[in-house]
Amino acid sequence: MGPRAAPRAVGGVVRTAGAIGRAALGALTGGFRDRVGGAAVSNLRLAAVVLLGGMGVIVAIVVLPVLMIVFALSVGVSHGLSIAAPAALPAGPPLAPGELACPVPGATTTQPFGPSELAGEPALFGHAHFHAGVDLAIAAGMPIRAAESGQVIQAAGQTDSLGFLVGYGNLVRVAANSGRMDYYGHMSGFAINRGDVVQQNQVIGYVGSTGYSTGPHVHFEVRQNGTPVDPAPFMQRCSAG
C-alpha cells in the first residue's frame, strides 16, 4: 500500500465505524422510544379501565337502587290502582248509619274520604288527587275486623313487576252480602284466606304499613258497583273520643 492509500483506508474504516455506531445508537434509542411509547399507551389503557370500573361501581352502589325505587313507585303507588271486582255482585239495600262495624276499634281517623294533596292518590270525581277511603291509625299488629259479612275475594299483597309491595300493600277484599266490595289495605299479615266466608267483626288480618304507607294504619274503602263511597257516615264510632 502506498503512502496515499493508507489515509484513504483509515478514513474508510472510520466512516464504517461511525456508520455502525450511529446505527447501533439509533436502534438503542428507537427501542427506548418504543418501550416508552408502549408503556404510556398501556398506562392510559389501565387508567381508562380503572376509571370506567370505578364509575360502574358508583352506578351500581348509588344510582341503580335509586332508579329501582323510582321505577317501583312509578309502576304503582296509589290506592287507586285498578283492581278488577267480580263481574256480578248482587244488588243490595243502601247502607244505613251504623251498619258497618269499625275495622279497628280504638283507631284514629288520620285521613278522611275526599280530595287529597298527596301526589300518590288517584284522580277521581274531577279532582287531581282523591283519597278513596278512610285511614284508621292504630298500633302495628292490632287485629283488623270485618266491617260486614261476606266472602273473601283477595287476601294477598299488591305488587309491581319487580315484586315490591305497592299501592294497598297486603290487601284483603271482601264481597259483602249486600253487594258491596270492602277493601282493607296495608296489613302486616292475614288471618283468613281467599274464598273464606267471614262474619261481621271477625278478625281478618293485622295492622301494618305495607305498600304506599307512611305509618301503621288500615286503609278502609267501600265500593258500590265499583265506585268508592265514603264509609264514615255508615260506620260505627271507632274511638270513644
Is the domain of 143 the same as that of 64? no
Is the domain of 115 the same as that of 221? yes
Is the domain of 127 the same as that of 228? yes
Is the domain of 34 the same as that of 142? no
Strand, helix or coil for residue 8 = helix
Query: What are all long-range contacts of 159-165, with beta carbons under 8 Å and residues at least 24 apart?
Result: 160/72, 160/75, 160/76, 161/75, 162/68, 162/71, 162/72, 162/75, 164/72, 165/210, 165/211
Is the domain of 124 the same as that of 51? no
Phi and psi dihedrals of 234, rounded to 5?
Answer: -110, 5
Is the domain of 71 the same as that of 113? no
pLDDT, tens digit (0-9, with 9 covering 90-100), for 133-159: 999 999 999 999 999 999 999 999 999
d(CA 153, CA 83): 11
Q: What's the burial of 96, exposed, middle or buried (CB within 10 Å: 0-12/13-18/19+)? A: exposed
Helical segments of the chain, H only: 5-58, 64-75
Asked which of 23, 52, 75 is the last residue of a domain, the reply is 75
d(CA 42, CA 34): 12
**Which position has the higher pLDDT, 18 or 179?**
179
Q: Record the pTM.
A: 0.66
Strand, helix or coil for residue 134 = strand
Asked which of 50, 75, 100 is the last residue of a domain, the reply is 75
Residue 132 has pLDDT above 70, yes or no: yes
Answer whether residue 99 is part of any domain.
no
Is the domain of 60 the same as that of 146? no
Answer whether residue 102 is part of any domain.
no
Is the domain of 121 the same as that of 179? yes
Residue 97 has pLDDT above 60, yes or no: yes
d(CA 135, CA 185): 9
Average pLDDT over residues 119-127: 81
Is the domain of 225 the same as that of 166? yes
- In this prediction, residue 67 carries a pLDDT of 47
Domain that holds residue 204: 108-234
What are 191's three cell numbers? 288471618
Domain of 174: which CATH number? 2.70.70.10
Is the domain of 148 the same as that of 220? yes
CA-only gyration radius of the chain, Å = 39
d(CA 167, CA 230): 19
Phi and psi dihedrals of 72, rounded to 5?
Answer: -60, -40
Query: How many structural domains does the chain have?
Result: 2
- In this prediction, residue 177 carries a pLDDT of 81
Choice among 100-104, 124-128, 185-189, 192-196 with the minimum mean pLDDT: 124-128
- In this prediction, residue 76 carries a pLDDT of 41
User: What band does 10 get if pLDDT is binned at 50, 70 and 90?
Assistant: very low
Answer whether residue 94 is part of any domain.
no
Answer whether residue 83 is part of any domain.
no
Asked which of 31, 54, 75 is the last residue of a domain, the reply is 75
Provide the residue type at 51 as one letter: L
Answer whether residue 112 is part of any domain.
yes
**3-state secondary structure string, 161-216?**
CCCCEEEEEEEEEEEECCCEEEEEEEECEECCCCCCEECCCCEEEECECCCCCCCC
- In this prediction, residue 59 carries a pLDDT of 46
d(CA 231, CA 217): 16
pLDDT, tens digit (0-9, with 9 covering 90-100), for 31-69: 545 554 555 556 656 656 665 666 555 545 655 554 454
Answer whether residue 204 is part of any domain.
yes
Answer whether residue 10 is part of any domain.
yes
What are 181's three cell numbers? 266490595
Greatest mean pLDDT among 23-32, 120-129, 145-154: 145-154
